[in-house]
Amino acid sequence: MQRIGMVANLEKPRVRETALEIIDYLERRQVQVLISHRKAAALGCPAKGVAEDAVITAQVLLALGGDGTLLRAARLVAPTGTPILGINLGHLGFLTEIELAELYPALDKLLAGAYRVEERMMLQGAVQRAEQVLSCTALNDIVITKGAFSRMLRLEVYIDTAYLDTYPADGLIVSSPTGSTAYSLSAGGPLVSPQLQVMILTPICPHTLYARPLVVPGEQTIKVCVHAPGAEVMLTVDGQQGLHLRDGDVIKVTRAGTPTRLIRLQNNTFFSLVREKLKEGGSRQDDENPAPAVNPEADSRHAHSHPGSAG
């Protein structure tokens, strides 16, 4: 492996230090690390920066941070299908593969090719208006929701050309199987194995007793017509990108043409991950101070400089 890209959330604890250590670790193994000009400047090594378009040409992309960082990475490499290895320096880490303490053995496995690639379905969304069509791609979900002081919305929903219902609700979540453990779960949606090619339609606080989440085949199209005159309505993509919607807008969501490809180094299953992560519930005491990665080269250098150290 000759070229590895990197995206990093430098606002999280230890990410800046870890990113610099990874760059040094990989360059010592004759691996070129591709990082954007902006991130390279923020890390204090502007000479290492490349254009963002070049970052996604890497053979593998490292995502340093939490699930949010990996979601951004997934949208970034959606056109190329570059495999992503998520390194968790955040909270629960449903999508990220390794914890910080496992970093260097994991990098060695990566360089040796001892990994598998797991494909995750993505969503393709489009907002249709009389004068324009706006498009987006999401790994987790595409959400229509009302503003803080808006009245409830009326959302007219079709599956392909078949009318489903008009929901009086605070909003509507269209989720992928990967996103079934995110906002959709909080709104009462089902857990769905990421091996399935389906979309989950979950109303947010529906003002009807019969409204329930619905699972739809991925090859179909969910169409939502927004009826909200004078109301503030937002479309959010993976909880990270936003667009103000207008009364009469039509949102179409279907399966994207290319999946996200996640690198897996461990033998964890989706079901063991759900059991472990949901039990943790975001209450880990070490979230803000993750255990440091053990760099064998750094340890070696440290031991030589302190000959009296144990071991």
Supply φ then ψ for residue 269, to 5 degrees. Answer: -100, 165
Q: How far apart are alpha carbons 27 and 18 in whole angstroms?
A: 14
103-112 vs 15-27: helix crossing angle, rounded to 10 = 40
* Measured CA distances, 273 to 42, 67, 180, 200, 220 (Å): 34, 14, 13, 20, 29
In 8-32, which positions are buried (b, 16+ CB within 10 angstroms) versus exposed (e)? bbeebebbbebbebbbebbeeeebe
**How would you classify the pairing of strands 198-204 and 214-217?**
antiparallel
For tokens 């050309």, what's the residue? 161
Q: Tell me whether residue 67 is one of the annotated catalytic residues.
A: yes
Options 24, 53, 67, 249, the catalytic residue: 67
Active site residues: 67
